[in-house]
Amino acid sequence: MADSSFDIVSKVERQEVDNALNQAAKEISQRYDFKGVGASIEWSGEKIEMRANAEERVKAVLDIFQSKLIKRGISLKALDAGEPQPSGKEYKLFATIVEGISQENAKKVAKIIRDEGPKGVKAQVQGDELRVSSKSRDDLQAVQQLLKGKELDFAVQFVNYR
């Protein structure tokens, strides 16, 4: 019988991020406490740029954006936000969406699977994802539960389960 396998990836659906950003922009434009403070959120190339006239306001814009991401099912581990920086009379904050599992993180996950996972489960790094294979589907599900229980510092999804 052939081995069963699945891939561990760290991907974010760009359209969902775009929808969350548009929802946040709409809320910022309508909320009373953001009137006249020049608060905005928008794409700036591959980064998300947030602006306001005070550091607290920029952090509030980030908070609104994070709440919209959560409602759309996107892990906040995929959002890499910097610190607010003064820029003329306003403050700017840049955030990026992180995708892909780095080699270092892939090795950490492979080690967790080797050390704590069921015997006979193999994990191999393939670019920015990790393929996990085993003869037993139950073992693969046990690995998924193990990784869901771990506090990893990046978002993971399980795809191509076969």
Summarised one tens digit per residue, pLDDT across range 60-92 is: 999 999 999 999 999 999 999 999 999 889 999
Please tell me whether residues 28 and 61 are part of one structural domain.
yes
Residue finishing a domain among 70, 97, 124: 97
Residue 87 and residue 105 share a domain? no
Residue 137 shares a structural domain with residue 105: yes
- The answer on 151 and 82 residing in a single domain is no
Cα 52–14–55 angle (5° rounding)? 15
Nearest to 90 by CA among 38, 161, 34: 38
Tell me, yes or no, whether 136 and 109 share the same domain: yes
Q: What percent of the chain has pLDDT over 90?
A: 66
128 burial level (CB within 10 Å; 0-12, 13-18, 19+): middle
Do 83 and 22 lie in a common domain? yes
With b meaning 16 or more CB within 10 Å and e meaning fewer, what string describes 99-108? eebeeebbeb
Q: 1-5, 106-110, 120-124: which range is least confident on average?
A: 1-5
Q: Mind listing the pLDDT tens digit for each residue in 127-156? A: 888 999 999 889 999 999 999 988 888 888
Mark whether 93 and 105 lie in a shared domain. no
Counted domains in the chain: 2
What pLDDT does residue 1 have?
52
If asked whether residues 106 and 83 sit together in one domain, one would say no
State which residues form the domain around 106: 4-11+101-159
Mean pLDDT confidence for 102-120? 90
Radius of gyration in angstroms for the set of CA atoms belonging to the chain, rounded to a whole number: 20
CATH code (residue 20): 3.30.70.990
- For the chain, the average pLDDT equals 91
CA–CA gap between residue 18 and residue 14 (Å, rounded): 6
Residue 126 β-bridge partners? 129
Domain end, chosen from 81, 97, 113, is at 97
Q: In the prediction, which pLDDT does 66 show?
A: 96
Residue 18: what pLDDT?
A: 95
Give the percent of the chain with pLDDT over 70.
99
Domain containing residue 119: CATH number: 3.30.70.860
Which of 17-31, 113-127, 141-155 has the largest mean confidence? 17-31
**Residues in the chain, total:** 162
112 and 93 within one domain: no
